[in-house]
Every structure is written in structure tokens, then in C-alpha cells.
A and B are shown apart, each in its own frame.
Chain A
Amino acid sequence: EDQVTQSPEALRLQEGESSSLNCSYTVSGLRGLFWYRQDPGKGPEFLFTLYSAGEEKEKERLKATLTKKESFLHITAPKPEDSATYLCAVQPDDNDMRFGAGTRLTVKP
């Protein structure tokens, strides 16, 4: 069964304190892994797509990496405006997208 597990559920950081969010997945075949940012009461905003192990993508303070079993979203020197819930999703070969429950990030000034 295709599964996506995100950890931690919640993460509190001080401004400037770098950290990583984890997305572990189990799929029969991976067509793509996606990261989204979701602000409270809003729809998810697309951040990255990763297709194969070893691939990396960067956007401002965010960097996403992918291995055969998990993906990391690294946040370097976060700012309060980075506070949001970060969602991970996988696209299996023969099924619809599967979403993790998300990591709720809070960055304190």
C-alpha cells in the first residue's frame, strides 16, 4: 500500500535556526514527489517536484532532496514568514497522489 509519513508533526524554530523536515514514503514505483506550503485557511502552494533519487531543488531558503525512501525539506536561516504547514505528496506509478499529514512549522522572531 502506498504511504507517506511526515515528521515531525510540528516544529518550532527560532529565527535563523536551520532544520529539516522529513517525508518517508512507500510506493510501488515513484513517478514524482512533491512539496507544498499551506498557510492556515488557504490552499496548498506548490514548491517543488523531485523525480529521481539524488535530485535536489532550491528556492530561497528552502532546499528539497530525494532518496529512494525519503525526502528532506531543508530550511536554512528561517524567518517568521516561513511559518506554515509543509505538505509532502507522492505520485505512484499506478495510483493517485498520496499526501502526508504535513509538518506545522512555527518560526519565532
Chain B
Amino acid sequence: DGGITQSPKYLFRKEGQNVTLSCEQNLNHDAMYWYRQDPGQGLRLIYYSQIVNDFQKGDIAEGYSVSREKKESFPLTVTSAQKNPTAFYLCASSINLDRVGVAFFGQGTRLTVV
């Protein structure tokens, strides 16, 4: 089945640690995205990538980093510089390079700081 796979489903981070969230897609989509979801707020864009080896900052990129070495993979690293990382993280992909619409989301990773 085609789709987007995020792992792990739950992740716990200690203060000062960097953690990496995985996102893999087998839809052959060019564009991939990372969103953050907090209670009572809309999804907010962290980073997006339209092509391998290229990515752009979204609205809340500070404290996060990404890479796009393969078309299928777009991992997100939450660094120790992110002061409030506890949230639900969603990866998404789109076939459209104009970024009109994000049609497919992964099942999310819930990150908690302990």
C-alpha cells in the first residue's frame, strides 16, 4: 500500500537532547512537509522540500533541522534549541510542485519532553 510512514509513534526527549523523527513515503511525491500541531491551534509549517537536496523554512523553523537526501525520506531533527518541543508532529507529501494542497499525511509522532 502506498502512503507515508512516520516513526516512532511516541518519542520522549530529555532536556538538552536532539531527537530525530522519521518520515518515509512511497507515493513518488516530490514535495514533502513537516507540521507541528498543538491543542487548540491550527497546523503550523516547520519545513518543506520540493526537491532532493533542497528545503525551505516554514513559519516556525527555529530549533528544528531537516535533510532531503532521498526523494522518499524527509527526517526532522528537533534540537535542544527548541524550547517547547512537546507537540504532535505530522509529515505530509504532495504530488504538486506548486504546493497546491497537501493531500497525504502520515499518522504522526507525539513528542514529549521528560
Report A's interface with B, CB cutoff 8 A: 4, 9, 31-32, 34, 36, 41-46, 49, 87, 89, 91, 96-102
Contacts and interface: CB of A to CB of B under 8 A. Distances in A.
Contacts of B41: 101
B96 to A, nearest CB: 10
Interface of B: 4, 6, 35, 40-45, 48, 58-59, 90, 92, 99-108, 110
B108 A102 contact: no
A55 to B, nearest CB: 14
A97 B99 CA distance: 8
A47 B18 CA distance: 35
Most B-side CB within 10 Å, residue of A89, A97, A98: A97
Contact of A100 (B4, B6, B42, B107): B42
B86 to A, nearest CB: 15
A91 B99 contact: yes
A96 B99 contact: yes
